[in-house]
Structure 1
Amino acid sequence: MKSNLMIHDVATGTDKLLLSFDDHMEAPNWSPDGTGLVINGGGKLFNVPLDTPKLYAIDTGFAKKLNNDHGISPDGTRLVISDETEAGESAIYTLPIGGSTPRRVTEKTPSYWHGWSPDGQTLAYTANRGEGFEIFTISVDGGQEAQVTHGFDHCDGPDYTTDGTWIWFNGEISGDVQLWRIRPNGTDLQQMTDENSVNWFPHPSPDGRHVLYLAYPAGTEGHPFGKDVELRLMPSEGGESRSLTALYGGQGTINVPCWSPDSTCFAYMSYDR
């Protein structure tokens, strides 16, 4: 199997291959300064500079079992990771952008990071506290977590809008997985898609105009790897979506925020069968 690190230009609709890997690599982030990407594979984290694209390992200290839920702070100075080395289940940690020993943020597990508030003060994540996976937030410095959603069968992929007024996420009710948005304080819940596809991992664009997401075929359970999927774009205030590209992927394709800072492009992973 080959993993392909791709860049999609929204205006032209074209896809550019940046790098291919013989290993299973996942979940690209785009740095806030626009110069590079962060991806993961084999429980490790890597930098990929755009001007000289190759893998540069990031030192994550004791954390050797990273999953694909990682990201970069809005000011570009810190990384956030989700790792199970210490706790046996996924916990959330932060560390300096250049790498170092991670500092634990969430005491409770499992917790899977997905969003960083624009002011850099709050993390959004999905977590199971005994009644299924819902959306939670916590200070980047740790402390008491706050439950944002209630009553879903499963929630995942929370990501903030650039003005911080909404958290987008995918939520499942009675087997139907659609995109939703909610205020960070847990009010004003709104369903944003009503499609036959199984919709995951919404990512609002930095310019506030669009939301990118992953669409699985109808009937898909969970967010598996190895499916024929689409990347779709919809207006940020709701409305009809359009398909940008079809690919073989799913889990690992766009699990985390992946827009370029100028909103013209986004990064994703596709895979050869």
Structure 2
Amino acid sequence: MLGRLIVGFLVGISSIGSVDSALELVITEGINSARPIAILPLSWNATTEPPEDIAAVVASDLKRSGKFSPIAISEVSEKSYFELDMNFDLWIELGVDVLFAGSISEGDKDSYTISYQLIDVVRGQLMQRQNRSAFGKPSYSRDHILFNKRAIIPKRKLREYAHRISDLIYEALTGKKGAFLTRIAYVVIQDEDFYPYQLKVSDYDGYNEKLILGSKAPLMSLDWSPDSKNIAYVTFQNGQAEIFIINVSTGKRKKITSFPRHNGAPRFSPDGKCLALVLSQTGSLQVYTLDLALRKLTRITTDRSNNTEPFWHPDGKSLIFTSDRGGKPQIYQVDLASYETNRLTFQGSENLSGQITPDGRFLVMVNRSNSGFNLAKQDLETGAVQILTNTLLDESPSIAPNGDMVVYSSIYNKTNVLSMVSIDGRFKARLPVTNRRVRAPAWSPFL
């Protein structure tokens, strides 16, 4: 679960606190097609056990990515932890082609030393066979060692470093950067609390949850700054929608806009210098950009329709947004130099809440069809659309910084929960919580 609030609120609306919590991820589809990998327990050279099981954290990370299926440790009788002593034939028989192994020892009073390897089992088996057939002359090829590393880690950062190891494994095996050293922000709604709306941040896996802000009025539209230090959000604390930015570490807040009527949908530019936002100064909803240093406001959309939900293209040269100018909500793209605007979506009766993957290849959106509101992916080059989810009333998609996963809000057991889906739609998971609603997730940039 995402955890329980155990901190007291300070006088006023803002509060900072923390609590360890485990996000109980329930995999619903896709693990059968994942790549098998063995994550061996690290051998421990001390009299006391370390506070974190690094192998368990790494195995959980890789399983949650949807691309790997760590084998159960109970299936493994192998007790050797370094590749020169390994029985590679055993791993081949278990269907494993990649293996992680290593050791951890206690250094001074505040650190651990970790040594670890990622091993290509198939190549390792070939090496051993060559050695056996070479009249005792060993082969010195090390091609089967994908990496071999050693690090000294402060004790308080042991779990964090486990995520770092997961990132290294993910990149070595997929060619893409892992997103395990990231965080997720979300809004928890607990109607019975004095402050029922709570902006929280946790590690991507739900641990180290922190309360960033408590409010009596709704909070929504969260967005991380590119440096992961701040979150922009919308609050109704003063009786109308206003945009604030809050520092995640200190809780210090700054009001950004409070124009009459609507202020909404803030989005940081890729360089962090501007916000895209939505105002209703002219009556209808219009997209603007705001230079945060100069406080210069520029209107981007000028028609009489309602235009909302801006999102920056990764190159920073254009915005996508949702507009009802064609009758029902669809997603459009506007060039910020020429203001030329083009419609991007045509499949489905409605498309909204668009985001573009970091590589610029895909548009992820909420698509409405006869089956309801579900997440979909559109190839921006070919226009091909793939429905990614079959959950109920999907909303607020947020893409991981490596583009491989999407977290979103959906309905399960008649309440709001967070769910995840891989960008190819094969892997799906649900993040259930008890006695509270969770909405408006926002995945942080790389830390």
The TM-score normalised by the length of structure 2 is: 0.51
Specify which structure has the higher proportion of strand: 1
Q: Does structure 2 conserve the Cα–Cα contact (< 8 Å) formed by 1:72 and 1:97?
A: no
Quote the Cα distance in structure 2 between the aligned partners of 1:24 and 1:213.
18
Aligned pairs (5 A) from 1:54-73: 54-58=252-256, 60=257, 63-73=259-269
**Structure 2 residue aligned with 1:267:** none
Q: Does 1:188 align with 2:377?
A: no
| Residues 251-270 of structure 1 aligned to structure 2 (within 5 Å) | 253-254=440-441, 258-262=442-446
State the 1:12 CA deviation: 4.6
Distance 2:294 2:398 in 1: 25
User: What is aligned with 1:122?
Assistant: 318
* CA offsets 1:29-87 (integer angstroms, 9 cap, x no match): 111011111111232211111221032112x48x44334312100111101111112x2
Report which structure shows greater RCO (CA 8 Å, sep ≥6): 1
Corresponding residue pairs, total:
246
Partner of 1:202: 397
Give the letter for the 2:247 counterpart: P
User: What TM-score comes out, normalization by structure 1 length?
Assistant: 0.82
Any unmatched runs of 5+ in structure 2? 1-194
Say whether the 8 Å CA contact 1:44–1:65 is kept in structure 2.
no
Q: Which has the larger radius of gyration?
A: 2
Question: After the TM superposition, which residues 16-31 of structure 1 pair with which residues of structure 2 at under 5 Å, given as runs?
Answer: 16-31=210-225
Does 2:406 align with 1:211?
yes
The Cα offsets for residues 79-98 of structure 1, whole Å up to 9 and x where unpaired, read as 1111112x211100001124
Residue 15 of structure 1: CA displacement? 3.4
| Farther off after superposition, 145-154 or 98-107 | 98-107
CA distance in 2, matches of 1:232, 1:39: 21
Q: Name the counterpart of 1:145.
A: 341
1:38 aligns with 2:232: yes
Aligned CA distance change for structure 1 residues 104 and 184 (closer, same or farther; 3 Å): farther
Provide Cα deviations, 1:147-201, integer angstroms capped at 9, x if missing partner.
11114222111001011111100111125111111133571222212x2422122
Structure 2 counterpart of 1:55, one-letter code: R
Please say if 1:131 is aligned against 2:327: yes
2:292 to 81, 89, 97: 97
Find the counterpart in structure 2 of residue 82 from structure 1: 278
> How far does residue 104 in structure 1 lie from its aligned partner after superposition?
0.4
- Secondary structure in 2 aligned to 1:102? strand
Q: Is the 8 A contact 2:361 2:381 kept in 1?
A: no
Q: 1:240, CA displacement in angstroms?
A: 2.9
1:262 and 1:118 map into 2 onto residues whose CA distance is 14
Cα gap change, 1:121/1:174 in structure 2, threshold over 3 Å: closer, same or farther? Answer: same
Aligned equivalent of 1:248: 437
Amino acid across the alignment from 1:228: T
Name the structure with the higher helix share: 2
State the distance in 2 between where 1:37 and 1:44 align. 14
Residue type at the aligned position of 1:182: Q
In percent, how many aligned pairs have the same letter?
22
The aligned residue for residue 16 of structure 2 is: none
In 2, Cα distance between equivalents of 1:53 and 1:158: 29
More moved, 4-13 vs 146-155: 4-13
- How big is each residue's C-alpha offset from its partner over 1:101-154, in whole Å with a ceiling of 9 and x where there is no partner? 421001122101232111001111111114311111111346221111114222
Matched, 1:178 2:367: no
CA contact (8 A) 2:319 2:336 kept: yes
> 1:9 is aligned with what amino acid?
D
Tell me the distance in 1 between the aligned counterparts of 2:270 and 2:421: 23
Query: Aligned equivalents of 2:313 and 2:382: distance in 1?
Result: 15
Q: CA RMSD in A?
A: 2.3
Aligned residues of 2:288 and 2:300 also touching (Cα < 8 A): yes
Q: Is the 8 A contact 2:319 2:335 kept in 1?
A: yes
Kept after mapping to 1: 8 A contact 2:347/2:385:
no
